[in-house]
């Protein structure tokens, strides 16, 4: 497939679908790559010496844990993941989102026919809240809200990538007045003329999952949300919500093989492989928000 089918997270080698490649890497790209490599090497050197110093001191340097974890989780392991996934993860669309580090993320389990504006209006009419952009201020806000169990209905979601681009839209519904648990869905705009495997023409694809708690990523050790395994339940919740706002739906059965896997945070996920396609061109109409639940997907 050509670049329009790519779903790799953007890096120095790719800036998104349809991007033209020049005759060779520019000086800026080489400088960027060299800077990332130097940062990773320095982080590895720092981790090595901190661990070695702790061993020499018979494990009494408790303070060394924090810098070792921070350097490993946010510099060294992400760099290694980007290098490795650049070698073995396919560039073409395989029905999975990607993390910024190139790891396979949430399953793509929704498709939409209609404009992003129509979709956004339908989601709002169904009682879902648009997520705030992820900035240092909103990241600090969600961290405080999760620790102190305070409400933040528009808490930001982490970036995931399809077609080499991060989500264009994200919506959520908070559970128990805390962003530590929430229903949420991301949507990506499809490149012009792109079709689903099998030939169906859609305007957006989406990934719906339920955040059940805050924890550490299995692959990078970063602080992140842990998602519930039954992704189909969250997919069906979004379908029900958009139906209540006037959307029509048909299901591409066996769009992919049903599977059990893990997402970019190491959480177990499962799906039956069906893909609902929602037509929001006639939406929205007045709708009553679906009843909020007090627990995870199992409580619906």
Residue finishing a domain among 36, 57, 87: 87
198/274 Cα distance (integer angstroms): 13
Residue finishing a domain among 39, 67, 87: 87
The predicted structure's pLDDT at residue 159: 95
**Per-residue pLDDT tens digits for 207-259:** 999 999 888 888 888 888 899 999 999 999 999 999 999 999 999 999 998 99
Residue 20 predicted with pLDDT over 70: no
**Same structural domain, 105 and 251:** yes
Query: Cβ–Cβ contacts within 10 Å for residue 18, how many?
Result: 13
**Same structural domain, 174 and 44:** no
Residue finishing a domain among 87, 118, 139: 87
**Same structural domain, 122 and 75:** no
**Same structural domain, 112 and 176:** yes
The predicted structure's pLDDT at residue 61: 58
Residue 172 predicted with pLDDT over 80: yes
**Same structural domain, 183 and 271:** yes
The predicted structure's pLDDT at residue 23: 44
**Same structural domain, 107 and 164:** yes
Give the helix ranges, DSSP H, for 149-270: 231-244
**Same structural domain, 274 and 152:** yes
**Per-residue pLDDT tens digits for 151-169:** 999 999 999 999 999 999 9
pTM score = 0.77
Length of the chain: 300
85/103 Cα distance (integer angstroms): 7
Structural domain tally of the chain? Answer: 2
152/179 Cα distance (integer angstroms): 6
CA geometry: angle 119, 121, 124, nearest 5 deg: 110
Among 188, 220, 300, residue whose Cα is nearest residue 43: 220
174/73 Cα distance (integer angstroms): 27
Residue tagged 């970036």 (tokens): 159
Cβ atoms 108, 97 nearer than 8 A: yes
The end-to-end CA distance of the chain, in Å, is 39
Domain assignment of residue 147, given as a range: 94-299
**Same structural domain, 194 and 49:** no
């Amino acid at each position: 497939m050509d670049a329009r089918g790519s779903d790799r997270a953007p890096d120095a080698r790719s800036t998104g679908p349809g991007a033209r490649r020049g005759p060779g890497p520019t000086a800026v790209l080489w400088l960027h790559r060299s800077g990332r490599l130097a940062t990773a090497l320095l982080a590895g050197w720092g981790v090595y010496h901190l661990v070695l110093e702790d061993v020499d001191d018979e494990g009494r340097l408790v303070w060394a844990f924090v810098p070792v974890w921070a350097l490993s989780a946010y510099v060294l392991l992400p760099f290694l993941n980007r290098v490795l996934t650049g070698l073995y993860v396919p560039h073409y669309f395989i029905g999975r989102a990607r993390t910024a580090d190139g790891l396979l993320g949430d399953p793509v389990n929704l498709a939409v026919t209609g404009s992003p504006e129509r979709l956004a209006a339908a989601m709002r009419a169904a009682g879902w809240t648009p997520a705030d952009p992820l900035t240092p201020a909103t990241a600090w806000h969600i961290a405080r809200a999760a620790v102190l169990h305070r409400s933040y209905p528009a808490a930001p979601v982490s970036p995931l990538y399809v077609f080499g681009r991060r989500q264009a839209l994200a919506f959520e519904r908070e559970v128990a007045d805390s962003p530590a648990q929430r229903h949420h869905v991301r949507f990506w705009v499809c490149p012009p003329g792109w079709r689903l495997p099998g030939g169906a023409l859609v305007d957006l694809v989406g990934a719906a999952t339920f955040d059940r708690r805050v924890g550490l990523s299995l692959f990078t050790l970063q602080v992140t949300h842990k998602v519930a395994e039954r992704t189909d339940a969250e997919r069906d919740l979004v379908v029900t919500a958009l139906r209540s706002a006037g959307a029509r739906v048909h299901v591409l059965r066996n769009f992919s093989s049903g599977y059990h896997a893990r997402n970019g945070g190491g959480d177990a996920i499962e799906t039956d492989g069906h893909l609902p396609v929602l037509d929001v061109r006639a939406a929205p109409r007045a709708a009553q928000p679906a009843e909020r639940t007090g627990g995870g997907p199992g409580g619906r």
